[in-house]
Copies of this chain bind each other. A is one copy, B any other.
Amino acid sequence: MLRFGVVRGPHGVEERMSLTLTGYAILGHLALKPWTTYELAEQFRKNLRHYLPRAESQIYLVPKQLVALGLASVRTERIGRRSRSVYEITPLGEEVLRAWLQRPPDARGPALEFEAILRVMLAPLGEDDRLLAVLRGVRDDNQEMLRIAEQIGDDYVAGRAPFQRFALHRSIMHDFLCSFAELVDDWSTRSIARVQRWPSMSPDEREAEAIAIYAERPRRASAGREGRGRGTT
């Protein structure tokens, strides 16, 4: 997060040094409504962790930093004897966020880190049943993601989602999350089935199976689609 020099240029604010993605994520949430740190932590735990995984402690730290930078303000409420901090965005925070939304993303594509794939790669050094265990672990874990996606879908259909008014935009997110969870489910399921068939196959059959996959994937040519060509606009 570090220093954060804000320069007021002719077209609004320009940032000398930017926040981390976590910082913008929280600032963005504050732009929608005031949040307590607990609510933010909950939000990250339930909804954001699939494409912005962060430790709980970070969610309590970052809002403080935003306040220190003048991008947010805190108000302390008392619920009985228990106190809680409510964070709100400041006008400066709104400007900084707007400037960020105007800028092109730092990373355009998704960053994936997938230990299981490394284990698949090194699987020839071990036994097939270890590979199966890895793939089953992936699939089992993914069931949770599928359940969460289902829950979110139900909430929007029932009209009781916290951000129902953004349903249209959020449906793009939901589309991605579901596609991803379904991909992991499908991939792990068919890979388990494949590995299970290997012992009963001849070397030639195995060779043929591998080559068939390499020959068919990725599907070639995606011609005749919207807005062909480079450019970020």
How far, in angstroms, from A113 to B22 measured CA to CA in the complex? 11
A143 to chain B, nearest CB (A): 9
Q: Which of A21-55 contact B (CB under 8 A)?
A: 21, 24-25, 28, 31, 48, 50-53
Per-residue CB contact flags for chain A residues 171-204 toward chain B (1 = under 8 Å, else 0) read: 1111110111111111101111111101000000
Partner-B contacts on A (CB < 8 A): 21, 24-25, 28, 31, 48, 50-53, 97-98, 101-102, 104-126, 129-134, 136-138, 140-142, 145-146, 149-150, 152-154, 156-157, 166-176, 178-187, 189-196, 198, 206-207, 209-211, 213-215, 217-220, 222, 225-227, 230-233
6 nearest interchain CB pairs? A178-B217, A108-B137, A51-B114, A156-B214, A110-B114, A167-B210
Q: List the B side residues contacting A192 at CB < 8 Å.
A: 226-227
How far, in angstroms, from A149 to B217 measured CA to CA in the complex? 8
